[in-house]
């Protein structure tokens, strides 16, 4: 739609699931659907059989993935200690809900890995919540990049790069590095007229300086 310049002003509601609605993505949706009254971001898993979190109806620039859905309980556990973490602290998301699946078909061992004896489900996702209880997705645990003694979120780096006016899309992966162990490397799609690859890379390195670190930009 964006490439062809077409718009659908009659669309009033959009819900995004299966990916996190970044600020840049939300702006693109808003430009294509000018009549929108609500743009919701929904966080769920196939195993949850329904929403775990969702942003409130009526928001056009959703923050995070919103609040727990009705009858859903959440807790956030530290990856190293397994203890509950407070607001603005990263932790793995555990959820409990009446709608959760009974188990994986003919695989009780995998079921026990996902659902504990108290019904808490291990999401495999890292997130945090603010003082108001709004939840913010950080990344899949398996997608975190181990850089020296820090865990770097590829998703947060991608969102930061996508917020630059010269960038259409970005993907960040971890690459082996002698100094850092693993280091973030970014692949970006620049807008027409943004400059040569070398110029774009230089602009982005200046843009993220002090906010994050990327070893290479392609």
Query: For 22-54, how does the pLDDT look when each residue is reduced to its tens digit (9 = 90+)?
Result: 887 888 888 889 899 999 999 999 999 999 999
Selected residue with higher pLDDT from 195 and 69: 69
Rounded CA separation 217/183 (Å): 12
- Give the residue from 21, 30, 88 showing the smallest Cα distance to 60: 30
pLDDT band at 202; cut points 50, 70, 90:
confident
For the record, the structure tokens of 197 come out as 């690859």
Query: For 135-168, how does the pLDDT look when each residue is reduced to its tens digit (9 = 90+)?
Result: 999 888 887 777 766 777 777 788 888 888 888 8
Domains and CATH numbers, the chain: 13-142 (2.30.38.10), 145-212 (3.30.300.30)
pLDDT at 2: 60
pLDDT band at 120; cut points 50, 70, 90:
very high
144 alpha-carbon distance from chain centroid: 12
State percent of the chain over pLDDT 90.
49
97 alpha-carbon distance from chain centroid: 22
Rounded CA separation 43/69 (Å): 9
Mean pLDDT of the chain: 88
Q: In terms of pTM, does the model score above 0.85? A: no
Burial of 18 from C-beta contacts in 10 A (0-12 / 13-18 / 19+): exposed
C-alpha count within 13 angstroms, C-beta hemisphere, residue 13 = 7
Give the gyration radius of the chain's Cα atoms: 19
pLDDT at 201: 85
């Amino acid at each position: 739609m964006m490439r062809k310049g077409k718009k659908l002003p009659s669309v009033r509601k959009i819900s995004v699931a299966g990916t996190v609605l970044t600020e840049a993505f939300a702006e693109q949706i808003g430009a294509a659907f000018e009549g929108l009254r609500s743009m919701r971001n929904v966080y769920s898993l196939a195993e949850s059989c329904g929403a775990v979190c969702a942003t409130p109806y009526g928001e056009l620039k959703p923050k995070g993935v919103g609040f727990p859905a009705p009858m859903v309980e959440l807790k956030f556990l530290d990856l190293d200690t397994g203890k509950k973490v407070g607001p603005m602290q990263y932790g793995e998301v555990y959820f409990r809900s009446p709608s959760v699946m009974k188990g994986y078909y003919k695989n009780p061992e995998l079921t026990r890995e996902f659902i504990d004896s108290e019904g808490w489900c291990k999401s495999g996702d890292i997130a945090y919540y603010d003082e108001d209880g709004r939840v913010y997705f950080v990344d899949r645990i398996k997608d975190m990049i181990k850089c020296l003694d820090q865990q770097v979120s590829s998703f947060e780096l991608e969102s930061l790069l996508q917020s630059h006016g010269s960038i259409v899309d970005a993907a960040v992966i971890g690459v082996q590095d002698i100094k850092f162990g693993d280091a973030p490397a970014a692949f970006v799609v620049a807008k027409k007229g943004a400059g040569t690859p070398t110029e774009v890379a230089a602009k982005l390195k200046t843009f993220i300086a002090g906010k994050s670190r990327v070893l290479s930009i392609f």
